[in-house]
Structure 1
Amino acid sequence: MTRQSEKKKPASTRRPRLSLDDWTDAGLQLLVTEGRGAVKIARLCNELGVTKGSFYWHFADIEELMHAIAARYCSHDNDTLRGLTSIEEMPVRDRLAHMGATLVEDRAWATEVAIRDWARTDPQVAESVRALDQRIMSVVENAFRELGFDDREARIRAGTLVYAGIGFVYGRDNIATPTVDEIQDLVAILTRM
């Protein structure tokens, strides 16, 4: 063996293949920070340090990526992050208290606003957001039914919480956000027979 062959080869600078989640995460980040217009194939490839071929391995075009972002954000898989998958195992009053508290938690408000704003101009995204809102409404409405409210009362009370949550998303920077205690007081009022 020669001295040259005994030297270690330099480590490869090649990145591992990006997953669908890597692309949707990067696209969502751009959507949130700079808006829909900033999400471009060349920009994403540059930021991720890959070629366009890597993008086209997963997506036919930018619209396919955008719809993957919306579908992932509004999917049943993302329900876990919102606590919707495990919440139905809680006692009903605890469930409502927990959901009420999440209305004012410091969470991904910017993402929620970006997705909802995008839904105003894209019918497919709007449908994903509508399906998510309906799942949330169903969980809350069922909780009120478990407490003994009839269908109409359950729907009205659930709507109060769900619409409050959507309102907190849009009004967050304009009006004082209620405290967790104030939200708990609201839940107590809504659960009173």
Structure 2
Amino acid sequence: MMGRFLAPYTCVCDLAIICGNAMPDQSLTQETTDTEAASLRSPVLSRADWLRAALETLIESGADAVKITRLADRLGVTRGSFYWHFKDRGEILEALIDSWAQKNTVAIVNAAGAGPDLTGSVLALMMAWLDAGLYDPRLDFSIRAWARSDAALRARVLETDETRLAALAQMYQRAGRSPEAAEVAARNLYYMQMGYYALGVSEALATRLSYIRGYFTSFTGEALPEARLKRFLEEVAQRPGIKDAG
């Protein structure tokens, strides 16, 4: 009798309770679904992702802007993700400096020693300075600006400049220059290029390339062979890191 009495009048929820199977809370179910969906949409950030965001922020706004909360906002995540990869802000700042040294200084040192002769090395340097994938002048400028208010970094920048100059001087010595002449030639080449960036010169790629012969002669005292120039220009056209600034 009880069963026949309950059947017409008891709601589905009541039956579930009577049977010992409570109906799921629809709001909780929806919340869980939304959380899982958000989790699936959220990217898993690596140390490289955080460092890339820090580098972009440094270049755009300076070292003071490289803050954990600002980076998290930029990446669209919480601050907690940062601490999986870095101990604190100081560690990511140090990583920025290391990244600069690895990218820009290594590019110059490698190029200076790359060629089978002085022509090859100077052309490799020109390629590095054209290709932002090898040498990023914006990063160099940002680090130097930061160093003006950081004595320890300033000392490291000076040390880095000496490393670069030494590599260039060795390049000239291998070509037969005396140590004194090689040092002067290295300074002439390096300070000219750094000055180009410091002045913020912006030229169309075609304009920069039109000066290659003249630059080469000023750096080496020799004429650039046409065959070597042709190969250089062909490689420039194929490199994705070389873009027209004009």
**Structures share fold, TM-score greater than 0.5:** yes
TM range (shorter): 0.7 to 0.9
Asked whether the equivalents of residues 74 and 129 of structure 1 are also in contact (C-alpha less than 8 Å), the reply is: no
Q: Report the secondary structure of 2:193's partner residue.
A: helix
| Within-5 A mapping of 1:24-43 | 24-43=51-70
Say which is worse superposed, 51-60 or 172-181, in terms of deviation: 172-181
How far does residue 190 in structure 1 lie from its aligned partner after superposition?
7.9
Asked whether the equivalents of residues 109 and 168 of structure 2 are also in contact (C-alpha less than 8 Å), the reply is: no
How far does residue 13 in structure 1 lie from its aligned partner after superposition?
2.5
Of the three residues 97, 103, 124, the one matched with 1:98 is: 124
Is 1:154 aligned to residue 154 of structure 2? no
Residue matched to 1:85: 110
In structure 2, do the counterparts of structure 1 residues 160 and 28 end up closer, same or farther at CA, with 3 Å as the change threshold? same
Residue matched to 1:184: 216
Q: Which has the higher contact order (CA 8 A, sep 6+)?
A: 1
How far does residue 57 in structure 1 lie from its aligned partner after superposition?
2.3
In structure 2, do the counterparts of structure 1 residues 133 and 41 end up closer, same or farther at CA, with 3 Å as the change threshold? same
Mapped partners of 2:191, 2:105: distance in 1 = 18
In structure 2, stretches of 5+ residues that fail to align are: 1-35, 224-246
Spell out, residue by residue over 1:46-101, the C-alpha distance to the aligned partner (whole angstroms, 9 max, x if none): 111222111122223222211210111112x6555x26336524122210233245
| Within-5 A mapping of 1:95-134 | 95-100=121-126, 102-103=128-129, 105=130, 107=132, 108-134=136-162
Q: Report the secondary structure of 1:182's partner residue.
A: helix
What percent of counterpart residues are identical? 26
Residue 40 of structure 2 aligns with an amino acid whose one-letter code is S
Mapped partners of 2:149, 2:222: distance in 1 = 34
Give the TM-score taking structure 2 as reference length: 0.62
Count of aligned residue pairs for this structure pair:
180
Mapped partners of 1:31, 1:89: distance in 2 = 30
Of the three residues 43, 49, 55, the one matched with 1:22 is: 49
Is 1:73 aligned to residue 100 of structure 2? yes
Give the TM-score taking structure 1 as reference length: 0.77
Asked whether the equivalents of residues 100 and 187 of structure 1 are also in contact (C-alpha less than 8 Å), the reply is: no
Q: CA RMSD of the aligned region, Å? A: 3.0
In structure 2, do the counterparts of structure 1 residues 79 and 42 end up closer, same or farther at CA, with 3 Å as the change threshold? same
In structure 2, do the counterparts of structure 1 residues 165 and 128 end up closer, same or farther at CA, with 3 Å as the change threshold? same
Mapped partners of 2:198, 2:46: distance in 1 = 32
